[in-house]
């Protein structure tokens, strides 16, 4: 990420695979990173997924994605899945592989966990192979709008604003379900490709 982010010692709270795109939240706070990626806290991550085949014509596949699948011997958590229209994104570099005789379509898929290449393995398991994958939002589960990719092109980044920083700090404040811990620092939001690693991509 040093190619895109000229700030040392920040790490992604949920990485993307090298062939995936989209939103990364970067932070120097290890507890914030853990808080956002631990499935016990249930932070929804929203993905737009271009798949091979007509997703809307296979409601049984969508229901399997929603209810959970057995992937590498472990069942996935229930997910949210729905067909969406083509979001009209700029072409990917390098371009996706596409077979002229087979149509493609788009899904919006939301997960509360981030295993290695999970989205790709889930769509492959229901015969809708992933061609392109973007993470577009991370829900902080605080009742406010999710952090979204809006306005960030591939490779761009920005600092979180004051309101977003407060929301991130609030995640680390004590609650009845957690022992007392002090608030942490906020993070940075970035768009584009990442290095390899787990995170659902």
Task: Give the containing element (helix H, strand E) for 189.
Answer: strand 187-190
Tokens at 107, concatenated: 């899904």
Q: Is 17 a catalytic residue?
A: yes
Which one from 17, 38, 139, 161 is the annotated catalytic residue?
17
Q: Identify the CA nearest to 31 among candidates 13, 7, 5, 45.
A: 13
- Cα 56 to chain centroid, rounded: 22
At residue 164, the 3 state secondary structure works out as helix
CB of 67 closer than 8 Å to CB of 155: no
At residue 169, the 3 state secondary structure works out as helix
**Known catalytic residues?**
17
């Amino acid at each position: 990420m040093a190619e895109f982010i000229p700030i040392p010692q920040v790490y992604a709270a949920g990485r993307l695979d090298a062939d995936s795109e989209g939103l990364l939240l970067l932070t120097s706070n290890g507890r914030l990173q853990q808080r956002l990626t631990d499935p016990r806290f249930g932070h929804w991550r929203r993905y737009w997924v271009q798949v091979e085949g007509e997703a809307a014509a296979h409601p049984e596949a969508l229901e399997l994605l929603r209810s959970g699948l057995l992937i590498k011997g472990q069942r996935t958590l229930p997910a949210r899945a729905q067909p969406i229209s083509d979001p009209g994104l700029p072409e990917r570099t390098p371009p996706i592989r596409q077979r002229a005789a087979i149509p493609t379509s788009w899904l919006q898929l939301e997960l509360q966990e981030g295993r290695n290449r999970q989205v790709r393995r889930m769509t492959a398991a229901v015969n809708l192979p992933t061609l392109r994958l973007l993470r577009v939002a991370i829900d902080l589960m605080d009742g406010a709008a999710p952090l979204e990719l809006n306005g960030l092109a591939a490779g761009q980044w920005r600092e979180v604003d004051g309101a977003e920083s407060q929301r991130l700090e609030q995640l680390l404040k004590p609650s009845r379900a957690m022992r007392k811990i002090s608030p942490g620092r906020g993070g940075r939001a970035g768009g584009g490709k990442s290095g390899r690693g787990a995170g659902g991509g």
